[in-house]
Structures are given as structure tokens and as C-alpha cells.
Amino acid sequence: MPTEIPHDSVGLVSPQTLRFDTPLTLACGRSLDHYELVIETYGTLNADASNAVLICHALSGHHHVAGYHSMEDRKPGWWDSAVGPGKAIDTNRFFVVALNNLGGCHGSSGPNSLNPATGKPYGPDFPIVTVVDWVHSQARLADKLGIYQWAAVVGGSLGGMQALQWSITYPDRIRHCIVIAAAPKLSTQNIAFNEVARQAISKDPQFHNGHYYEHNQVPKTGLMLARMVGHITYLSEDGMREKFGRELRSGKINFDFNPQFQIESYLQYQGEQFSTAFDANTYLLMTKALDYFDPAADFDNNLTLALSQAQCQFFIASFTTDWRFSPERSREIVDALIDAGKDVCYTEIEAAHGHDAFLIPIPRYMEVFSAYMKRVHTGGGQ
């Protein structure tokens, strides 16, 4: 709870809901006739609407990126460290737009919202949306806000994949593409981890094939397990050892099956928290969107050819101990961009935090990110 709002915070913010009534045809072949997107904006759109920055969220993110909803909030938005006055994405310069993606569970149309056709929650009947679908919906959001071209589209992890997709799908509507801790597609191992998470959820007796809302139940155990396995992939081995080691909660081994090591109770706590705040169907959908992401697939599996569509400049960043989307994966993007003759800057940040590092204000990370955003602001580059 902030006793007072920090000077470099966007302050108290409130989300708004925008309604869209033009049918959106999705990659799966189905279409959404009506949908809603919840957004937050920070800063001011300039007269020629040239200073807008779109922030795309990752698997469990949402529209509340920065600032506080009330003075009672325990924590600010999920990327408050990078968004605010004087921060890397400087709200004195940029008009920042953040949304909850379609299929999300924080207010935008998704499995837990009412299906107008039935009057009941969509549940598993909500179409599986893809990164491309999200990008199309975000383009419509831009239209509604009077923004033709984003100064930058920014994202980490799955958010970075959306930024990358923007550069290919709407080349003339994006000037800078900022892709942090992402990959050009998931590895087999990534998909394997996602499948463990999905199995944990769908095998939970309270899942009811996704119709748990009607039973007033939540597949809490499954969601918790899914988050726990996910969380392991977000941390690095070194980071985990540094933070928890083999510390025992009570100082001694108890010879029972209750959590005794600190890491056990930490994971359980994370899973527990998550399972009360997140929707299981959304989790399934988000992991599928990740698995399906593969922009090169439409271009003969040639990433260079896919990125040849782009007209923007790129900033790519990775973190040394990230093994979920390792630096090698970012380098695949960089190599393809150089091959395609696109403007690109790439940095590999030394960090112990694993994949989670993209959310942490590591000094060097914030320094290069700020330097690049200054370039976005001044319009510099080759």
C-alpha cells in the first residue's frame, strides 16, 4: 500500500472497457461478432498521434501495467519499474496503451465472460485465439484510439512475440519493435512444459471439461500445479539456489510429506496466489497461443523471409540465465533480421533471475532500454 504515490509513478489510474461490434475473424476459422477489451493508458497522445506505445502482456499479464488503482493497492502494475515519468518508457514523452488480450481473464472478452448466444460463460467454447488474432484486435484498438502508427510496440516473453508479429502483419503501422526475452517460436521443451500445465488443469476433478463456472467450482489444484511448474521455468537454477538454497522452514527434517524446504513452500504460495486470481480456461488458451506462435510458418519456415516484411527498427534483448527463452532464441531473431537487412540492436543482459529478469529493473537493462526508447522518441536510427 503506498502511503504516498512515488514521484516516478503514473499515479492513480483506472481501466476502461472498449466495445467492438465489427466481427473479428480468427485464425481458427471462427469469428467473434462482439468483444470487449479492457485497457489502461498513461501519458498524453500528441496532436499527430505519433507518440503512442503499445505494451503487450505475457502469459499471466493484463492491462494494469503501471501505477495504482487505489491507495489500498499492495503493489503497483506489473511493469511499473519500466513505465512512468522518467522511466525507460517515459510517460512524459509517450502515450502508453496497455490492454488485456482477448481470451484473458481480467475484463476483456474471454472464457469467463458471458457468451451472448447462451447467456452463460463461454468456458471452453471461447475460441482459441492466436498471437496473430491478438495483433488484429490490437490494430482495431489502435483505430479506435485514433492511432495509425505506433511509435513502438513493446513486449516481454509472449508479449515480445506479439510485438514481433506486429512488425510482420502491420509493417506500416509500427516504427519500432521491442522484443524482450522472447523466441521466434516455442521449442519442443517449451511445448512439453505447457502440456504438463494443461494436463494438471484438465485432469483436476473440479475442471468439469472447462464448465466449472456452472458448478461453482474452480480447478484450483490443477491451476496451482500448472503455475508451480511454470514458475520453475521462470527462475534460473542459480537464482533459486541463491534465494532458497536448501533452507528448511523449521530448521530440521521432519520425515513427513509436508513442505519443509523453503522452495517447496514458496512454490506452493505462488501457486496458491495464482489459482485464486487467474482463470483456468484462460491459462489453457494462453499456453496454446504460445505453442501455435510461429510467424515463419507462413513463409516457407524461413524466418528471414517472414521478417523481410517488416519496415520498422528492432530492439531485441535477452538475459544470460533465461532458459525458458534463452539468449540463443533471441539470437535467431537477430540473425534473421540482419539477414533481411533490417535495423536491429541486440543486447544480452547479465542477470541471475532467469526468464523473470525481463520484469526486474536490472540497472544495465534499464539503461540500454532507456537509451533505445530515447531513440524511439527522437526518431534517430539509420
Partner 1 sequence: MRADLEIIREWIQPNSRLLDLGCGEGELLEYLIKEKQVKGYGIEINPDNITSCIEKGVNVIEKDIDKGLVSIRDGSFDTVVMSHALQTMHRPDLIVEEMLRIGKECIVTFPNFAHWRVRSYLSARGKMPVSKFLSYTWYNTPNIHFFTFKDFEELCVERNIHILDRTVVDHEHRHRWWIHLWPNMLGEIAIYRITR
Task: State which of residues 69, 231, 288, 375 lies at the interface with partner 1 (CB under 8 A).
Answer: 375
Q: Where does this chain touch partner 1 (CB under 8 A) — which range of 77-85, 217-225, 295-303, 374-382?
A: 374-382
Query: Do 242 and 227 form a contact (C-beta atoms < 8 A)?
Result: no
Smallest gap from Cβ 310 to partner 1, in A, equals 14
Q: Which residues are catalytic?
A: 157, 322, 355
In angstroms, the CA 19 to CA 94 distance is 24
Q: Which of 347, 352, 353, 356 binds partner 1 (CB under 8 A)?
A: 347
Report if residue 381 touches partner 1, rule: CB under 8 A.
yes
Span near partner 1 by CB under 8 A; candidates 58-66, 122-130, 211-219, 335-343: 335-343
Pick out residues in 265-324 that bind partner 1 (CB under 8 A).
315
Q: Measured from the CB atom, is 8 or 332 closer to partner 1?
A: 332
User: 122 is written with which cell numbers?
Assistant: 463461454
The reply to whether 382 sits near partner 1 by the rule CB under 8 A is yes
Q: State the alpha helices, DSSP H only, in 60-149.
A: 131-145
With contacts defined by CB under 8 A, name the span among 100-108, 138-146, 198-206, 339-347 that binds partner 1. Answer: 339-347
Q: How many residues touch partner 1 (CB under 8 A)?
A: 23
> How far apart are alpha carbons 183 and 67 in whole angstroms?
29
C-alpha 302, offset from chain centre: 25
HEC secondary structure over 314-330 = EEEEEECCCCCCCHHHH
Q: How many beta carbons lie within 10 A of that of residue 249, not counting itself?
A: 13
Contact status: 23 vs partner 1 (CB under 8 A): no
Q: Is 182 exposed, middle or buried (0-12, 13-18, 19+ CB in 10 A)?
A: buried
List 8, 36, 291, 343, residue binding partner 1 (CB under 8 A)? 343
User: Amino acid letter at 176?
Assistant: H
- Residue 234 in contact with partner 1, rule: CB under 8 A: no
* Residue 343 assigned ligand-binding role: no
339 binds partner 1 (CB under 8 A): yes
Alpha helices in 219-378 (DSSP H): 220-234, 237-244, 262-277, 280-292, 303-307, 327-339, 363-378
- Output phi, psi for 232, to 5 deg: -60, -40
The verdict on 366 binding partner 1 (CB under 8 A) reads no
Site of interaction with partner 1 (CB under 8 A): 315, 331, 334-335, 338-339, 341, 343-348, 364, 367-368, 371-372, 374-375, 380-382
Annotated binding site for substrate: 227, 356
